[in-house]
């Protein structure tokens, strides 16, 4: 998720760097589709939907609060990477930082399962094991299939262990496999671009950065308009825009998708609901976690301005004052007009078609009377439209 | 000569590309997709030419595929490349980002280009970011122009001479220049349509270097399954130069009487047809979310989700956008930020669409559209 300026006409920059802390910040509009796509995956296979953003947390927290209720189920958990040293990051430094944050989220979950496995392996009493499982479950760190307090879910790993349906060593082995899957069974959804920078680089770059952090190859696909999970091969079948066609790709998990605005989630199939529930967690954890650069063990040389290979030079304003011609009301120059001395001021020169609305009323009347100015009409509008389309 | 302070500062930053002075030439990645040379890739050669002539370097056209034909290579040279680097491997037959990143990484590390230009289409935007991250270098996306300049690095207090200025739009009203002073290659993507391809010169000759990458770290985690035609009726919106967008306002006239909205659709189509016929430009009909969600029986086959413009629909960039009966909620305005000129037709002078319009018609659209059509017809037929 990215926080972007609410009004791109009122951006605050210092030396080309966005000062997000000084502007009204909203959720990047393209990220709505991202949530929709991720929400589908969450409902389809279970697990949990984790939102992550980098930016000043006072501005990002309200955005995160809102998306707990977004789409069908909303997000389950939120992490904000917030640190003054992260400011001024280009897409390279942003992707590095996000990959470190993602790595930490994965580690926490893997370690939770490993802690439980270790406790069982070391021969802890079953009540102690269950107490530990309860704690991890309440903190949203282990899924229903390991432990659950939902009455509808009886066949959890801990229950089976307590009832002697599986041995301690079986439980340990199952948990260790589960722990490994944490770092392989995930999908990262990104917006196709952000409304402010409009680069779309972060999705593919996070795939590469995280590949390097995890020491495995994480494929990515950009501009995804449709996708489906293929359970037989634990992969994603993806349809994405590529030049003049749709390319259909199959991506192994873990993978990164950037979601095109044309994406819309299909209905979730009825089959697999039980498996999805077992893979899911207790519920939502609405306590938003805020991590600094040190928390995620980010190399300070690789983050923020220091970690950015690109440098933004001073922006050049090319905006003209907004002029609007109103059919039947605006006065325009009927022909080229030289400089006009009027009262103690000089106006012009004007080219044919220039808007004269800001001139004094008397002068406009005078110019109209002389045939130098006229009311902007449909034909003038047609003329301008044609000239723009020809130009 | 670096000061003490500067050296300390450098140590706290992303390390620069080693051996940075050895990087030479301006390359452009030419897209071959399903056997076809993607024509706007020739604009990349024109851009590379402009840059190369300012720094006294050569232009290399980088091409990838399972086999790159001599014909294609020759075409690239005749369009301005000094030489062609053809990276060939069976895994490069279809585009997918992992094999392409791996192959391009190998050739870049081997031949060390000073700058590398991609096209900012779906392929360039999929590939360039991953490659730039892998190579630990900067990427400036969606540029409209390039220059070569000296750049003073404020943080380092150091002047970098003759580096690439990557020029891109910034927040609708500004342009920004992006520099990659300490890393090579300087990677950028070019927005298609920003440069004119160079005139073909059949007398031009140049070398073709063929390279087979080892792909030794490549893992096949992506499989290209198939291709599908884009069936999206709204696709024409994306390339249209003139768009008429219709909103809820077409359901009633200024007096509040219910109208048959097909009348408005017909009038809009008459304008679009006229302009397409007479000016030879692409035109398209669009609609606001509100009108689509109104689910009007008469419009069911015509006003569909495919042609929705706005935040949850399409983002369009016509030269002229005519908004008829659209109030101009922010969600709709997001979709037309890139429009050149906006003509707002809305009887309510306080409708937000008028605020962003370059031309306003404050009149019943059932009167305004025919008048606009007549005026256009008169101007176009008199020529």
Q: What CATH number is given to the structural domain containing B48?
A: 3.40.50.620
Mutation target among A311, A316, A319, A383 for the B interface, most CBs of B within 10 A: A311
Q: Name the more confident of B232 and B307.
A: B307
Are residues B332 and B276 located together in one domain of the fold?
yes
Are residues A55 and A126 located together in one domain of the fold?
yes
- Please report, for chain B, how many H helices and E strands are present, in that order: 11, 18
Residue contact A300–B14, C-beta within 8 A: no
Task: Please give chain A's pLDDT, 391 residues, in tens.
Answer: 999 887 654 455 555 556 666 678 899 988 988 999 999 999 999 999 999 999 999 999 999 999 998 777 899 999 999 999 999 999 999 999 999 999 999 999 999 999 999 999 999 999 999 999 999 999 999 999 999 999 999 899 999 999 999 999 999 999 999 999 999 999 999 999 887 888 999 999 999 999 999 999 999 999 999 999 999 999 999 999 999 899 999 999 999 999 998 898 999 988 888 889 999 999 999 999 999 999 999 999 999 999 999 999 877 765 555 789 999 999 999 999 999 999 888 998 999 999 999 899 999 999 999 999 999 999 999 999 999 999 8
Question: Residue B10: what pLDDT?
Answer: 73
**What is the extent of the structural domain holding B239?**
235-381
- Domain assignment present for A336: yes
Question: Residue B1: what pLDDT?
Answer: 45
Q: CA B332 → CA A7, A32, A387, distances in Å? A: 14, 15, 26
- Domain assignment present for B3: no
Phi, psi of A164 (to 5 degrees): 75, 15
Option in B127, B230, B368 nearest A245 (CB): B230
Are residues B192 and B315 located together in one domain of the fold?
no
Query: In the predicted model, what is the mean pLDDT of residues B205-217?
Result: 97
Domain boundary among B177, B211, B245: B211
Residue contact A381–B375, C-beta within 8 A: yes
CATH number at residue A351: 3.40.5
Are residues B246 and B184 located together in one domain of the fold?
no
- Domain assignment present for A325: no
Are residues B95 and B37 located together in one domain of the fold?
yes
| Alpha-carbon distance A99 to nearest alpha carbon in chain B (angstroms) | 12
Residue contact A388–B320, C-beta within 8 A: yes
- Domain assignment present for A323: no
**What is the extent of the structural domain holding A111?**
3-302
Are residues B206 and B240 located together in one domain of the fold?
no
Identify the H or E element spanning A94: helix A91-121
CB contacts, 8 Å: A383 with chain B: 379
CATH number at residue A183: 3.40.50.620
Are residues A110 and A154 located together in one domain of the fold?
yes
CATH number at residue B312: 3.40.50.1220
Residue contact B176–A316, C-beta within 8 A: yes
The total number of structural domains that make up chain B: 2
Work out the percent of chain B whose per-residue pLDDT is above 70. Answer: 95
Are residues B280 and B360 located together in one domain of the fold?
yes
Are residues A248 and A343 located together in one domain of the fold?
no
- Domain assignment present for B222: no
Q: Say how many Å lie between the first and final Cα of chain B, rounded.
A: 66
Whether the CB-CB separation of A169 and A314 falls below 8 Å is answered with: no
Are residues B74 and B127 located together in one domain of the fold?
yes
Mutation target among A385, A386, A390, A391 for the B interface, most CBs of B within 10 A: A385
| Alpha-carbon distance A273 to nearest alpha carbon in chain B (angstroms) | 27
- Domain assignment present for B8: no
Are residues B311 and B349 located together in one domain of the fold?
yes
Are residues A70 and A212 located together in one domain of the fold?
yes
- Domain assignment present for B58: yes
Are residues B175 and B307 located together in one domain of the fold?
no
Option in A204, A315, A388 nearest B174 (CB): A315
Question: Residue A19: what pLDDT?
Answer: 63
- Domain assignment present for A17: yes
What is the 8-class DSSP label of residue A30? T
What's the token pair of residue B337? Answer: 């930020």
What contacts 24+ positions apart, CB below 8 Å, involve B260-267?
B260/B298, B261/B296, B261/B298, B261/B299, B262/B298, B262/B299, B262/B302, B263/B366, B264/B324, B264/B325, B264/B365, B264/B366, B264/B369, B265/B299, B265/B302, B265/B303, B267/B366, B267/B369, B267/B370, B267/B373
- Domain assignment present for A370: yes
Are residues B202 and B239 located together in one domain of the fold?
no
| Alpha-carbon distance B323 to nearest alpha carbon in chain A (angstroms) | 14
The total number of structural domains that make up chain A: 2
CB contacts, 8 Å: B221 with chain A: 217-219, 251-252, 255
- Domain assignment present for B123: yes
Residue contact B132–A384, C-beta within 8 A: no
Phi-psi region of B80 (alpha: psi -120 to 50; beta: other; left: phi over 0): left
Domain boundary among B195, B211, B227: B211
């Amino acid at each position: 998720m990215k926080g972007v300026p609410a009004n791109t006409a009122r951006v605050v920059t210092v030396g080309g760097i966005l000062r997000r802390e000084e502007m009204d910040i909203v959720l990047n509009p393209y990220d709505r589709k991202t949530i929709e796509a991720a929400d589908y995956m969450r409902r389809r296979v279970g697990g949990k939907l984790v939102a992550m953003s980098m930016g000043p947390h006072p501005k990002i927290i309200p955005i995160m609060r809102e998306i707990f209720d977004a789409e069908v189920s909303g997000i389950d958990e939120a992490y904000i990477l917030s640190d003054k040293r992260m400011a001024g990051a280009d897409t390279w430094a942003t992707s590095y930082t996000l990959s470190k944050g993602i790595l930490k989220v994965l580690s926490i979950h893997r370690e939770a399962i490993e802690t439980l496995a270790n406790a069982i392996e070391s021969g802890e009493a079953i009540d102690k094991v269950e107490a530990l499982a309860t704690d991890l479950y309440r903190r949203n760190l282990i899924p229903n299939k390991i432990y659950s307090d939902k009455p509808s879910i009886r066949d959890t790993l801990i229950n089976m262990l307590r009832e002697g349906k599986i041995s301690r060593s079986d439980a340990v082995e199952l948990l260790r496999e589960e722990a490994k899957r944490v770092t392989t069974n995930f999908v990262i959804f990104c917006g196709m671009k952000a409304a402010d920078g409009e680069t779309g680089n972060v999705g593919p770059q996070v795939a590469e950065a995280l590949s390097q952090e995890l020491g495995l190859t994480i494929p990515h696909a950009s501009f995804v308009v449709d996708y489906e999970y293929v359970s037989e091969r634990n992969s994603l079948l993806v349809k994405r825009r590529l030049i003049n066609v749709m390319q259909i790709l199959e991506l192994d998990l873990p993978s990164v998708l950037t979601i095109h605005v044309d994406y819309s989630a299909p209905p979730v199939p009825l089959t697999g609901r039980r498996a999805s529930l077992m893979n899911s967690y207790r519920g939502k954890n609405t306590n938003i976690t805020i991590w600094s650069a040190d928390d995620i063990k980010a190399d300070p040389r690789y983050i923020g301005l220091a970690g950015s290979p690109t440098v933004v030079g001073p922006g050049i304003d090319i905006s003209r004052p907004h002029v609007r011609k109103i059919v039947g009301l605006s006065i325009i120059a009927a022909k080229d007009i030289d400089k006009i001395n009027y009262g103690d001021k000089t106006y012009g020169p004007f080219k044919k078609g220039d808007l004269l609305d800001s001139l004094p009323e008397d002068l406009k009347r005078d110019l109209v009377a002389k045939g130098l100015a006229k009311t902007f009409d449909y034909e003038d509008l047609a003329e301008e439209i044609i000239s723009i389309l020809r130009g | 000569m670096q000061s003490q302070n500067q050296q300390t500062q450098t140590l706290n930053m992303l390390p620069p590309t080693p051996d940075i002075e050895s990087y030479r030439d301006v390359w452009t990645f030419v897209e071959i997709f399903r056997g076809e040379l993607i024509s706007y890739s020739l604009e990349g050669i024109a851009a590379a030419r402009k840059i190369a002539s300012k720094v006294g370097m050569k232009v290399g056209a980088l091409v990838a595929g399972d086999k790159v034909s001599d014909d294609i290579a020759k075409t690239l040279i005749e369009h301005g490349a000094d030489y062609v680097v053809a990276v060939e491997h069976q895994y490069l037959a279809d585009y997918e980002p992992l094999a392409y990143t791996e192959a391009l990484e190998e050739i870049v590390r081997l031949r060390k280009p000073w700058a590398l230009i991609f096209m900012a289409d779906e392929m360039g935007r999929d590939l360039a970011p991953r490659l730039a991250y892998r190579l630990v270098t900067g990427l400036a996306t969606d540029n409209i122009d390039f220059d070569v300049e000296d750049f003073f690095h404020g943080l380092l207090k150091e002047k970098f001479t003759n580096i690439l200025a990557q020029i891109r739009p910034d927040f609708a009203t500004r342009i920004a220049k992006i520099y990659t002073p300490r890393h090579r290659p300087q990677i950028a993507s070019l927005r298609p349509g920003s440069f004119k391809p160079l005139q073909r010169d059949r007398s031009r000759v140049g070398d073709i270097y063929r390279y087979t990458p080892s792909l030794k770290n490549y893992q096949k985690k992506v499989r290209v399954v198939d291709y599908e035609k884009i069936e999206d009726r709204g696709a024409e919106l994306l390339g249209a130069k003139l768009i008429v967008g219709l909103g809820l306002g077409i359901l009633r006239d200024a007096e509040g009487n219910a109208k048959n909205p097909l009348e408005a659709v017909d009038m809009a189509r008459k304008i679009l047809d006229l302009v397409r016929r007479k000016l030879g430009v692409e035109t398209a009909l669009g609609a606001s979310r509100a009108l689509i969600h109104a689910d009007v029986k008469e419009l069911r086959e015509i006003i569909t989700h495919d042609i929705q413009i706005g935040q949850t629909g399409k983002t369009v960039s016509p030269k002229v956008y005519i908004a008829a009966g659209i109030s101009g909620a922010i969600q709709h305005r997001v979709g037309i930020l890139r429009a050149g000129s906006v003509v707002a037709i809305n009887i309510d002078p306080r409708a937000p669409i008028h605020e962003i319009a370059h031309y306003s018609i404050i009149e019943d659209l059932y009167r305004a559209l025919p008048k606009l059509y007549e005026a256009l017809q008169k101007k176009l037929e008199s020529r």
